[in-house]
Chain A
C-alpha cells in the first residue's frame, strides 16, 4: 500500500512538470491504474472495476482525442502564478494534515463513518433485497434516488458535449485520416478482432452477475462503451458511426434515463413510494425486479453516452 501511494505521488508530481501533454495523458492513465490496485487493496472491487474502465480507459481516450484538436505541446511561460500556487497548495496541504490529526485511524471499525447505516446494510440487505453484493443493493435500492441523479448527470453532460461540439463546425478543417490507417496496423487489427467481441460479451455478464460479484450497470455500460471505442480506434470512427449511428445512441441514452425514471413513476402508480420496489411484489422478489430494471436503464445510458462522447471528439476535424 505504501509503495502504491508513493507511486501515485511520483506520477502526480511528474504530471505537474511534464510539458508534452501526450505523455501527461498517458501518465494520468497509469495513475488511474495504480488507483485501481489501491481500491482492490481497500476492499472496494466495484470501484476498482469502474476506475479501470472509465478512469484508465475512456478518460484517456477522450483526453487524447481532445489533444488531437487542441495541440499536444504545452507552452512554457514564466507565469508569476507558479510561486503563489505552490504556496497556496502547501498551506492547504498543511491545513489538511493538521485537520487529519482528529480523524479516526485507518481501518478503525469503530470510526463514525463505519457506523450509522453501514451495519444495517451489511446485516439486513440479504433478507430485504436478497442479493449478496451489498454495493449493488445500496446503489440500486437503498440509495436509488442518488443513482437516478447520477444517471441524469451523465445524460446531461452528454447533452452539453453535443451542444458544444455537435452540429456544423465554425471553421471546417481537414478531416481525420484515421480510416486509411487501419490497413497498415495488421497486428492492431488482429488483436482488436479478437478482443472486441470478447469485451462485448463481458458487458452483459458484468451486468447480470453484478448482484453476486463486483459489477452492475455502470461497469457494464463502461465496458460496452470501451469495446465500441476500441473498435472505433482501430477501424476508424467512420466505421463505428456506421455500426452504431449517433442517432441510435441518442435514443438509447434517453431510453435509459426514461427506464430508470419511469420505474419510479410506475411504483408511484402502484401505490408505493418513488422507486420503492416493494410495489413489484413481496421482498425480496419485488426488490430484485426493480433492481434489474433500473440497472438496465443505467447500462443503456452509460454505454450509449461513453460511445457518443468518443464519436463526437474523434469525428471532429482539426480546425
Chain B
C-alpha cells in the first residue's frame, strides 16, 4: 500500500481527465463541451508537470547552493502548450459563435436535425 502513495497524483489526474471527457461526451452545449475539453487539457498539463518533479529539488533556475533541480523539459513543453491551448479555444469559440449566428442555437440536440440532408422534404413536392 505504501508503494502506491506515489501514484496518487496520477490517479487524481486520471479523475480530472475523465470528468473532462464525460463533459465532452455527455453535455450538448458546444461551449460547455469546450470548457470540458479545457479541463481535460489542463489535467494533461498537470500530468506532465508531475512527471518532471524530483523530490527535494528546486525550480530549474540555476543558483549556487542548490544541487537538485526538477526537470525543465516538461515546463517548456507545457508553457507553450498553454498558449496554444487558448488559441485553439478561441477558434472553437469562434466556430460556436458562427454556428449560433447561422442556426440560432449551440445545443447539439437542436443542431443535429438541422444538419441532416433536406432531401426527403424536397423530394415529395417533385414526386
Contacts and interface: CB of A to CB of B under 8 A. Distances in A.
B59 A43 contact: yes
Interface string B1-37: 0010111111110111111111101111111101110
B82 A75 contact: no
A38 B49 CA distance: 9
A263 B82 CA distance: 24
B64 to A, nearest CB: 10
A13 B19 contact: yes
Contacts of B71: 113-114, 118
Given A35-B45, A50-B82, A42 B50 contact: yes
Chain A interface secondary structure, helix, strand, loop or mixed?
helix
A132 B62 contact: yes
Contacts of B21: 85, 88-89, 92
B78 A44 contact: yes
A207 interface: no
A185 interface: no
B62 A126 contact: yes
A45 B54 CA distance: 15
Interface in A164-213: 164-165, 169-171, 212-213
Contacts of A316: 97
Contacts of A46: 59, 75, 79
B98 A89 contact: no
Chain B interface secondary structure, helix, strand, loop or mixed?
helix
Interface in B64-116: 68-91, 93-98, 100-102, 104, 106-107, 109-110
A45 B82 CA distance: 14
Interface stretch (A145-153, A241-249, A254-262, A286-294): A145-153
A15 B14 contact: no
A252 interface: no
B79 A96 contact: no
Contacts of A13: 19
15 contacts: A16-B19, A35-B46, A39-B49, A50-B82, A66-B96, A71-B100, A74-B27, A82-B26, A106-B6, A106-B7, A108-B6, A113-B51, A118-B72, A132-B62, A146-B80
Interface of B: 3, 5-12, 14-23, 25-32, 34-36, 38-39, 42, 45-46, 49-63, 68-91, 93-98, 100-102, 104, 106-107, 109-110
Interface of A: 1-2, 5-6, 8-9, 12-13, 15-16, 21, 24-25, 28, 31-32, 35, 38-39, 42-47, 49-51, 54-55, 58-59, 62-63, 66-67, 69-71, 74-75, 77, 79, 81-82, 84-86, 88-90, 92-93, 96-97, 100-101, 103, 105-109, 111, 113-114, 117-118, 121-122, 125-126, 132-135, 137-139, 143, 146-147, 150, 153-154, 157-158, 160-161, 164-165, 169-171, 212-214, 218-219, 221-222, 302, 305-306, 309, 312-313, 316, 319
